[in-house]
Amino acid sequence: MEERNKTLGEFIIEKQEEFKYSSGELSRLINSIRLAAKVVNYKVNKAGLVDIVGAVGEQNIQGEDQQKLDVFANETFIQTLINREIVCGIASEENDDFIVIKGKDECHNNKYVVLMDPLDGSSNIDVNVPVGTIFSVYRRVTPIGSPVTIDDFLQPGIAQVAAGYVIYGTSTMLVYTTGHGVNGFTLNPAIGTFYLSHPNMQFPKDGNIYSINEGNYVHFPQGVKDYLKYCQREEDNRPYTSRYIGSLVADIHRNMIKGGIYLYPTSSKAPKGKLRLLYECNPMAFIAEQAGGSASDGFGRIMEIIPTELHERVPFFCGSTNMVTKAEEFMAKYRR
């Protein structure tokens, strides 16, 4: 069978032996995410036609206004994973605390926990801008058969066994890694099947795109300001092009294909950064590194940070390796 004609299901089965712990659970887990993604995709594509756009009038644990699609996506992914009896715990950006999944004997003997941002960039839904789902999978550290604890979720990114994202855009794609490269699958809406469309995805070592909300320029640390001036200077292959969608999945996806860097640094308004380490930064860092890119907090590797809380925020620099390295050089000049 030609590589690009493979379905996601066929690809998962074929590559299962690459995952040293797997006895089928990881394949079933990815398949569950595939199913939930198709349900969410259906709702996203009906936005504007049905009453699914807008805020629900409540805030999540982050203090952000929840959108109707946030709630729908969160419930869809959680229920799909629970119903399939694949994971022993789930943590979501939309929930205050992690969820302990109980089985017939109070807790499942499953090995994995999932952390997720069920609908990244949801504030863009009503203006028809791409949004996405981000997920991260860890092998539990507490004994199998016991209820999961916070320790199962507060693991560094280097402990991830799988991570991925779904982008709901002009086409719907599921991109994921299990530590053996990154592959992208595009949904054929006519038959509801994901096909391998982007095998072995790679970040170019260099790029000419920088993605940052420059409206916050005056609030950025001096190292970031200096790097942006470097990006804008007419010299060598610069100035670079500024491209910022405001949907993390969409910005990272574009830069992985075309070459570029995404920056969400600390600022005087967000002194710890804004993006969540466990739900956004770690999974995107795993994907970036598996695609030959880099991910940093401005000074060091994102995936080596030891998390201390479920909703921890960190600065995030992610993309083409040479661009991330250059940004770190500017940051290092002002390190205290």
pLDDT at 218: 97
Are both 42 and 151 inside the same structural domain? yes
Are both 107 and 230 inside the same structural domain? no
Looking at 138, 172, 198, the residue that finishes a domain is 198
Are both 170 and 213 inside the same structural domain? no
Are both 223 and 106 inside the same structural domain? no
Q: Is 279 left (phi over 0), alpha (psi -120 to 50) or beta?
A: alpha
Measured on CA atoms in the order 115, 321, 212, 330, is the torsion positive or negative?
positive
On whether 328 is known to bind a ligand per the annotation, the reply is no
pLDDT at 68: 81
**Nearest CA among 17, 11, 18 for reference residue 290:** 18
On whether 280 is known to bind a ligand per the annotation, the reply is yes
For residue 215, what are the CA distances in angstroms to 135, 244, 264? Answer: 29, 11, 12
pLDDT at 128: 80
pLDDT at 50: 47
d(CA 82, CA 109): 13
User: ∠90-93-95 over CA atoms, to 5°?
Assistant: 70
Summarize the chain as % helix, strand, coil (round to 5): 35, 25, 40
Which tens digit of pLDDT belongs to each residue from 267-318? 999 999 999 999 999 999 999 999 999 999 999 999 999 999 999 999 999 9
* Contact (CB, 8 A) for 334 and 307: no
Counted domains in the chain: 2
Task: Report which DSSP code applies to 143.
Answer: P
E strands, 151-243, are: 160-168, 172-177, 183-188, 193-198, 209-211, 241-242
On whether 26 is known to bind a ligand per the annotation, the reply is no
Q: Which domain holds residue 274?
A: 209-332
Decide if 203 is inside a domain. Answer: no
Are both 42 and 179 inside the same structural domain? yes
Which tens digit of pLDDT belongs to each residue from 54-100? 455 555 556 566 678 889 999 999 999 998 888 999 999 999 999 99
d(CA 95, CA 314): 19
Are both 222 and 143 inside the same structural domain? no
Are both 178 and 266 inside the same structural domain? no
Decide if 224 is inside a domain. Answer: yes
pLDDT at 65: 61
Are both 214 and 180 inside the same structural domain? no
On whether 192 is known to bind a ligand per the annotation, the reply is no
**Beta-carbon-side half-sphere exposure of residue 178 (alpha carbons within 13 Å):** 18
On whether 264 is known to bind a ligand per the annotation, the reply is yes
Are both 54 and 153 inside the same structural domain? yes
The answer to whether the predicted template modeling score (pTM) of the entire model surpasses 0.75 is yes
Decide if 87 is inside a domain. Answer: yes
d(CA 123, CA 228): 26
Decide if 68 is inside a domain. Answer: yes
CATH of the domain at 223: 3.40.190.80
In sequence order, what are the residues at sequence separation of 6 or more whose Cβ sits closer than 8 angstroms to the Cβ of residue 304? 156, 157, 158
Tokens 């995805």 correspond to what residue?
A: 201
For residue 156, what are the CA distances in angstroms to 149, 258, 321? Answer: 15, 29, 21
Q: Residue 120, Cβ neighbours under 10 Å: how many?
A: 28
Looking at 173, 198, 223, the residue that finishes a domain is 198
On whether 274 is known to bind a ligand per the annotation, the reply is yes
Decide if 74 is inside a domain. Answer: yes
Looking at 198, 225, 259, the residue that finishes a domain is 198
On whether 176 is known to bind a ligand per the annotation, the reply is no
Decide if 183 is inside a domain. Answer: yes
Decide if 204 is inside a domain. Answer: no
pLDDT at 244: 97
Biggest alpha carbon–alpha carbon distance for the chain: 65
On whether 171 is known to bind a ligand per the annotation, the reply is no
The count of residues in the chain is: 336
Instruction: Name the stretches of the chain with pLDDT < 70.
Output: 1-4, 18-23, 47-66, 103-108
Decide if 64 is inside a domain. Answer: yes
Are both 264 and 318 inside the same structural domain? yes
pLDDT at 84: 86
User: ∠296-298-304 over CA atoms, to 5°?
Assistant: 40
Are both 76 and 44 inside the same structural domain? yes
User: ∠149-160-122 over CA atoms, to 5°?
Assistant: 85
On whether 69 is known to bind a ligand per the annotation, the reply is no
CATH of the domain at 129: 3.30.540.10
Are both 139 and 268 inside the same structural domain? no
Helix (H), strand (E) counts: the chain: 7, 17
On whether 115 is known to bind a ligand per the annotation, the reply is no
